[in-house]
């Protein structure tokens, strides 16, 4: 009897395994069918494009205003770009953004036959382009300090989802650079952190969430911009590291994200002399081709950083940098201008293409780049989004005549899943929670509740802080009144806010003058300053100037019940404790800083 039961149990288990295995097999077959279908469509569309149209597709351009004005129209008609990057100057109210993007897409469909990738830098914190319609999350460094992968994934999703709703489908985030150089003038708080684990965990999670949100996330700046002291907007950074050193540190977040499914990468305008002494990563076939494409087996999009940046424009313009980038392995040449500069870029690439210079080992690299870009426009439903539009002009001849049923079902399910996830997240609560959890302290852990609000005096600047104090019926003092209270020892704690070195120095001078009174600075700027250290001075960091980040700083003093953890960053050495001249290093870095 027992033997029969045992055989029946084993047989049932086998049937159950077979059922799930067949289900998984069917799912994999369907996924392969969908991918093959999109690849065929991308190939078919690419084959219909003229040389001029192919060149236009690999160039992304900028426009001057908040509407599709004559300059923007001419740019699309002349260049026939594959995408447009939008900056703060282009982004007004939610309705204005939606109108601009719809008009851009309509114009592109008429002139190029394909929808645009419309990109934006929406990193959070100090890099926020869209002010209406997208939650103003704190920046990357704040997100990293939460040590919470789930939060990072949710922030990535919500940011991407909200951008896609506005018509912005290409997100230049997250920044995967490990900011282990505290003198870095350009990455700074845009990085998730100073150590590998923080950047790895938060960056991979954010990118995964953003992919689910619908706007294609772009990890940047490959192979790593964290260990520089030169701004590539204004100079040519160099990093003297070997490929093995990069693989053991800077490259790990990128490689892990690729293995996790990342679809887009932005290159860095940085020279790595021990890998390629002649060209920065953006133009280097050794870095983009051999390392990223071949060794890492990366099949996704590669977009350059802006080609007008001095690192390229001042050093490689005579070498036809657009052509070099495509030969190296890039798919998209990012321009942040319009008119003569974009026309010049188009002309150099078109001339090289007609000469046959963009064919390598029998492969037409220009067509490969265009096909890859179109594939991702299909994969993320961007083509599907406009499949019902009235197709006029070039779209009538290029646009897919019909979307196969399997793809229609796939894109419909994709949209449903996004809506389900969006409904599960309380977006405003998420912003509050992330901002509060991001607050950390220097130089030691700190428990603010040990001193009551009644024994605390405030000297804060800025409307966000003042309105928060007012809502709590707390008086804000001027500096002279604060000094008098401290001299008379009427309070046990004084709270100031800061975003710059002089403001921190003021807090330090008060701490030094009144050693028996606790001085707290609520700091929402960069932490990479000369941080004063006094036994009675506490510096709370939010890393971000957003409203919720500022409210979180005040919350940490007045409402927080648990201990505030120590900041987890490589900070600048205190000049009074270091034999190295901080001032000299800062001046060297700041020569190329805005």
Average pLDDT, 10 consecutive residues per value, the chain (594 residues): 57 56 57 90 95 98 98 98 98 98 96 96 96 97 98 98 98 96 88 96 98 98 84 78 96 98 97 96 98 97 96 90 98 98 98 97 96 97 81 80 82 92 88 98 96 96 97 97 97 98 98 98 97 97 97 97 96 62 34 30
Q: What Rg, from alpha-carbon coordinates, does the chain have? A: 27
Residue 233 known to be catalytic: yes
Contact by Cβ (8 Å): 81, 115 = no
Indicate where the chain has its CATH 3.40.50 domain(s).
439-590
Structure confidence at residue 205 (pLDDT):
98
Are 286 and 307 in contact by the 8 Å Cβ rule? The answer is no
State how far the Cα of 536 lies from the Cα of 550, in Å rounded to an integer: 22
Pairing of strands 537-541, 440-442: antiparallel
Q: What is the pLDDT of residue 13?
A: 58
Contacting residues for 163 by C-beta, under 8 A, at least 6 apart: 120, 122, 130, 134, 169, 171, 213, 215
Before 221, cis peptide (omega within 30)?
yes
Question: Active site residue: 177, 231, 276, 305, which one?
Answer: 305
Q: Which CATH architecture has domain 30-430?
A: Alpha-Beta Barrel (3.20)
- As annotated, the residues of the chain forming the CATH 3.20.20.300 domain(s) are 30-430
8 Å CB contact between 243 and 287 = no
CATH fold of 439-590 reads Rossmann fold (3.40.50)
Biggest distance spanned by C-alpha atoms of the chain: 93
Provide the 3-class DSSP secondary structure of residue 124.
Answer: strand
The residue annotated as part of the active site, out of 60, 221, 225, 233, is: 233
Q: What pLDDT, on a 0 to 100 scale, did the predictor assign at position 498?
A: 98
Structure token digits, residue 52: 């001029």
pLDDT computed for residue 588 by the predictor = 34
Which pLDDT score is estimated for 20? 54
**Which has the closest alpha carbon to 349: 361, 364, 363, 371?**
364
How far is the first Cα of the chain from the last one, in angstroms, to the nearest whole number?
84
Determine whether 310 is an active site residue.
Answer: no
The predicted pLDDT at position 394 comes to: 87
Q: pTM of the full predicted structure?
A: 0.91
């Amino acid at each position: 009897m027992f033997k029969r039961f045992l055989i029946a149990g084993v047989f049932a288990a086998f049937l159950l395994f077979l059922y799930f295995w067949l289900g998984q097999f069917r799912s994999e077959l369907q996924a392969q069918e969908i991918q093959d279908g999109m690849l065929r469509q991308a190939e078919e569309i690419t084959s219909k494009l003229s040389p001029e149209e192919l060149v236009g597709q690999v160039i992304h351009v900028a426009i001057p205003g908040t509407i599709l004005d004559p300059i923007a129209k001419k740019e699309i008609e002349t260049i026939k770009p594959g995408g447009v990057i939008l900056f703060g100057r282009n982004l007004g109210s939610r309705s204005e953004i939606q109108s601009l993007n719809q008009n851009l897409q309509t114009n592109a469909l008429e002139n190029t036959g394909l929808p645009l990738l419309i990109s934006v830098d929406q990193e959070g914190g100090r890099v926020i382009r869209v002010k209406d319609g997208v939650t103003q999350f704190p920046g990357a460094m704040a997100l990293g300090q939460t040590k919470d992968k789930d939060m990072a994934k949710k922030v990535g999703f919500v940011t991407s989802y909200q951008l896609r709703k506005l018509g912005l489908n290409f997100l230049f985030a997250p920044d995967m650079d490990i900011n282990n150089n505290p003198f870095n003038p350009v990455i700074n708080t845009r990085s998730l952190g100073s150590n590998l684990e923080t950047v790895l965990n938060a960056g991979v999670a954010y990118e995964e969430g953003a992919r689910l949100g619908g706007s294609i996330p772009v990890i940047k700046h490959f192979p790593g911009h964290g260990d520089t002291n030169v701004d590539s907007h204004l100079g040519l950074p160099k990093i003297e590291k070997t490929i093995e050193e990069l693989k053991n540190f800077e490259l790990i977040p990128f490689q892990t994200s690729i293995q996790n499914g990342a679809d887009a990468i932005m290159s860095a305008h940085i020279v790595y002399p021990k890998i390629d002494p002649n060209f920065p990563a953006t133009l280097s076939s050794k870095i983009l081709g051999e390392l990223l494409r071949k060794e890492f087996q990366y099949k996704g999009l590669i977009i350059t950083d802006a080609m007008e940046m001095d690192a390229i424009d001042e050093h490689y313009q005579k070498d036809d940098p657009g052509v070099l980038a495509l030969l190296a392995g890039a798919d998209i040449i990012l321009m942040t201008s319009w008119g003569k500069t974009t026309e010049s870029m188009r002309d150099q690439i078109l001339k090289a293409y007609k000469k046959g210079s963009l064919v390598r080992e029998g492969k037409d690299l220009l067509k490969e780049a265009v096909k890859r870009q179109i594939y991702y426009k299909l994969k993320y439903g961007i083509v599907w989004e406009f499949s019902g539009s009235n197709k006029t002009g070039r779209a009538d001849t290029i646009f897919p005549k019909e979307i196969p049923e399997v793809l229609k079902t796939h894109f419909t399910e994709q949209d449903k899943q996004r809506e389900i996830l969006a409904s599960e997240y309380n977006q405003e609560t998420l912003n509050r929670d992330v901002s509060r959890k991001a607050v950390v302290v220097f130089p030691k852990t700190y428990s603010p509740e040990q001193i009551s609000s009644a024994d605390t005096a405030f000297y804060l600047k800025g409307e966000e802080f003042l309105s928060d104090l007012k809502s709590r019926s707390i008086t804000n003092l001027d500096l002279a009144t604060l000094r008098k209270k401290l001299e008379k020892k009427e309070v046990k704690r004084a709270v100031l806010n800061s975003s710059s070195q002089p403001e921190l120095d003021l807090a330090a001078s008060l701490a030094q003058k009144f050693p028996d009174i606790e001085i707290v600075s609520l700091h929402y700027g960069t932490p990479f300053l000369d941080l004063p250290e006094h036994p009675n001075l506490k510096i709370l960091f939010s890393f971000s100037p957003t409203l919720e980040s500022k409210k979180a700083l005040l919350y940490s003093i007045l409402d927080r019940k648990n201990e505030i953890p120590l900041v987890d960053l490589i900070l600048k050495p205190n000049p009074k404790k270091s034999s190295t001249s901080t001032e000299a290093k800062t001046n060297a870095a700041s020569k190329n800083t805005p």
